[in-house]
Amino acid sequence: MEDRPVNARFPAARPRRLRRTPALRRLVAETRLHPSELILPMFVKEGIDAPNPVSSMPGVFQHTPDSLRKAAEEAAAAGVGGLILFGIPEAKDERGSAADDPDGVVQKALRDLSSDLGGDIVIMADLCLDEYTSHGHCGLLTPAGEVDNDATLERYASIAVAQAEAGVQVVGPSGMMDGQVAAIRAALDGAGHHEVAILAYAAKYASAFYGPFREAAEGAPQFGDRTGYQQDPANAAEALREVELDVAEGADMVMVKPGLAYLDIVAKVAESCPVPVSAYQVSGEYAMVEAAAEKGWLDRERAIMETLLGFRRAGAAQILTYWAVEAAHMLR
Ligand code: PBG
């Protein structure tokens, strides 16, 4: 003891003092999570009579109208802030006709949920064509097999109006067509739906982490990939430009997607964006943790909370996550 140098016995700064007890750590935590900022993505499928488990996403189901309603009620009761619907129609065609059919699978679900849950949880719908087209692309195709941007905008406009008439509160265009937010805003306003908000998938990357989702939503492209319209993972400045354009076109909220591999983008966007910034913890991120936990390779609950906290720390105001309900319970 005596011959230890003085500075080793008395460090001038001891950050550990504030880490000593759970109460101290809680007192000084810089970031907090709350169930109300979580959004649960949900799948509803036409023509099934029991919920269908998604094998690559343990704990996630393709719902029937009944099981959807029950799960939505559970989410609302847990205090989850919002839910976003993805529909899987029975019949697909070249132009994705079921997407804007007033009796399409999502429109029916919206009518059902918004009538009595709309006050308790924000009801959103993904707005895209990939689950509805026979070719699995997010838009209409040119004869050469490329996605036709401007023809697709007309389809998106019509889907937005169909979802609005069915009671959606927020639409989430995810197709990455240029001008999609402006086209949707104009269509909604033209049909008298000024109240419907737009959560723009503004910076959406062409990602391998969407793999399990394509099983869940049955929307894998039948040829090619989405690199002609989704962003290149190499780019960051492009994300800021996409966000700027979407905000100028009338986006009420913007999203960065995927999350974990793009936290730098979340942080950059959150720094300058004048509207709320959400991040989507996508299917592959969910599957990675579930698979590793199943093997006993990591502590599942701690990993879930750590990733969610990471999104908030990076600056995401809302988080879309398949763990929304479970995380809400953990936070209570
Ligand atoms: C497209 C869409 C996708 C996801 C959400 N909307 C798939 C894609 O772009 O290929 C992925 C979500 C996830 O992986 O959890 N409508």
Q: What percent of the chain has pLDDT over 70?
A: 98
Kindly give the residue spans of alpha helices, DSSP state H, lying in 149-194. Answer: 149-165, 180-190
Segment 292-297 shows an average pLDDT of 98
Would you put residue 250 in left (φ > 0), alpha (ψ -120 to 50) or beta? left
How buried is residue 85: exposed, middle or buried, by Cβ count under 10 Å (0-12/13-18/19+)?
Answer: buried
Q: What pLDDT is attached to residue 285?
A: 98
Question: String of b and e for 132-158 (b: at least 16 CB within 10 Å)?
Answer: bbebbbbbbbeeeeebbbeebbebbbb
Catalytic residue among 45, 108, 257, 268: 257
Which helix (H) or strand (E) element contains residue 281?
Answer: strand 277-281
Residue from 86, 174, 176 to probe ligand 1 pocket by mutation (most atoms less than 8 Å from CB): 174
Strands 61-63 and 38-45: parallel
Q: What pLDDT is attached to residue 8?
A: 66
Q: Write the pLDDT tens digit of every residue in 10-25.
A: 899 999 999 999 999 9
Q: What pLDDT is attached to residue 116?
A: 86
What domains can be seen in the chain, in order of their start residue? 32-331 (3.20.20.70)
Question: String of b and e for 278-307 (b: at least 16 CB within 10 Å)?
Answer: bbbbbbbbbbbbbeebeeeeeebeebbbeb
Q: Considering the entire predicted model, what is its pTM?
A: 0.96
Q: What pLDDT is attached to residue 9?
A: 79
Structure confidence at residue 4 as a pLDDT band (50, 70, 90): low
Tokens found for residue 19: 């880490």
Shortest CA distance to 75 belongs to which of 112, 131, 122? Answer: 122
Q: What pLDDT is attached to residue 157?
A: 98
Segment 86-99 shows an average pLDDT of 97
Segment 203-223 shows an average pLDDT of 94
Question: Is 257 one of the annotated active-site residues of the chain?
Answer: yes
Catalytic residue among 45, 92, 108, 204: 204
Q: What pLDDT is attached to residue 5?
A: 61
Residue 283 assigned ligand-binding role: yes
Q: Write the pLDDT tens digit of every residue in 145-166.
A: 999 999 999 999 999 999 999 9
The interaxial angle of helices 180-190 and 237-249, nearest 10 deg, is 10
ipTM over the 0.90 cut-off: yes
- The CA 210 to ligand 1 mean position distance, Å, reads 6
Tell me which of 3 and 68 has the higher pLDDT.
68
Structure confidence at residue 2 as a pLDDT band (50, 70, 90): low
Q: Write the pLDDT tens digit of every residue in 158-203.
A: 999 999 999 999 999 999 999 999 999 999 999 999 999 999 999 9
